[in-house]
Amino acid sequence: MKAVLASNNKHKLVEIKTMLKDKIREIYTLKDMGIEIEIEENGTTFEQNAYIKASTIAKLTGLPAIGDDSGICVEALNGEPNIYSARYAGEPCNDANNNKKLLDKLHALEAKTGVVNRKAYFQSVVVLCYPDGSYISGSGKTYGQIIDEYRGTNGFGYDPIFLSDELGKTFGEAVMEEKNTISHRSRALKDLLQKLNSEKA
Ligand code: IMP
């Protein structure tokens, strides 16, 4: 199968390409296809936003397209920033400002209540959409804690402040191969692949 990735996020492109390479023979990026597009993510769930991205690109290219939407959900903040993770601190979208806003909010809660629950999870939904609009989706989560310091320089987004329960280190300290073994995106992709395989069976 050939497919197009409906994303311009370089880190996600590498992660998704690496994980799907055995199943999808040729994966093109938007850049490969000469497509420059801003897709408005106006859904209210990860799945709706992933579908909006994948279906827009599938219709535009006539090829199956893969869209993903992901974010971090923090228990003490009632699940914030959720689908707003990329733009949490407003424009311009910036990882440093997003991380700072999250830590500031937790500090404010801590100052008010004395303790703060730092449990959080990343969620990813990956949608494979065909040009006719039909689709298959996969979902994955990975759990951890938000820590008060920045640890590690790998990855992107909230990686340096997310201490993974399973790895015992932050995603910023983990190398990509390690992160891929337990990440929300790898779990969403595995879920998607399982559904694809059972559809073909
Ligand atoms: P999306 O590109 O609309 O899916 O936005 C996802 C946002 O969630 C990113 O910009 C990051 O802020 C955050 N995010 C999603 N996955 C990860 C991850 O694996 N590590 C760190 N941050 C992530």
CA distances (Å), origin 84, targets 6, 43, 190: 18, 11, 24
What ranges make up the beta strands (E) of 2-134?
A: 2-5, 26-28, 65-74, 119-129
Q: 162-164 and 65-74 as β-strands: parallel, antiparallel, unpaired?
A: unpaired
pLDDT tens, N- to C-terminus, the chain (201 residues): 889 999 877 777 887 887 787 778 788 999 989 999 989 989 999 999 999 999 999 999 999 999 999 999 999 999 999 999 999 999 888 999 999 999 999 999 999 988 899 999 999 999 999 999 999 999 999 999 999 999 999 999 999 999 999 999 999 999 988 998 999 999 999 999 899 888 755
Residues with CB under 6 A from ligand 1: 9, 69-72, 85-86, 98, 122, 155-159, 171, 183
* The two three-digit tokens of residue 33, written as one number: 């296809």
Question: What is the bridge-based pairing of β-strands 135-146 and 162-164?
Answer: antiparallel
How many Å lie between the centroid of ligand 1 and the Cα of residue 84? 9
- The closest residue, in CA terms, to atom 14 on ligand 1 is 71
Neighbours of 143 (CB within 10 A): 14
